Amino acid sequence: QVQLVESGGDSVQAGGSLRLSCGGYRLIPGVNCVAWFRLTPGNWREWVAGMLLTGPPAIRWYADSVKGRFTISQDNAENTAYLHMDSLKPEDTTKYFCAARPKSCGTRRAAEFGSWGQGTQVTVSS
């Protein structure tokens, strides 16, 4: 499987913003979906957002917990996907992972994604 590379994690105050980056997914033959997950206290990967790489129009989905605050996007010229995070809350603190697959975005199960990054830590203080 292709190893993805994330960056952009940092420590911020509540209400602040961060932008996470994900590269390498274009190396996956037929890649069609990029998603972001985050680690829960129970140590499983929770789906945060997903994006179809075909289009326009861009089709994106968000978990209810981040809807209106996070935006998933891609820069085709740079072959990079992003997760823009605004209005960050302390409960957003955890490790975030980028994942990709050559199929549709019709799943939110981490096990359905074959390519992952190493994760990037986001810490939000109150």
The pLDDT tens digits for 23-63 are: 999 999 999 999 999 999 999 999 999 999 987 777 999 99
The pLDDT tens digits for 110-121 are: 999 999 999 999
CA 30 to chain centre: 19
Per-residue pLDDT, averaged over 62-79, amounts to: 94
Q: For position 78, what pLDDT does the model report?
A: 82
Task: Give me the long-range contacts of 112-115 (CB less than 8 A, separation at least 24).
Answer: 113/35, 113/37, 114/1, 115/1, 115/2, 115/3, 115/4, 115/24, 115/25, 115/28
Residues 6+ apart with CB under 8 A from 126: 13, 14, 90
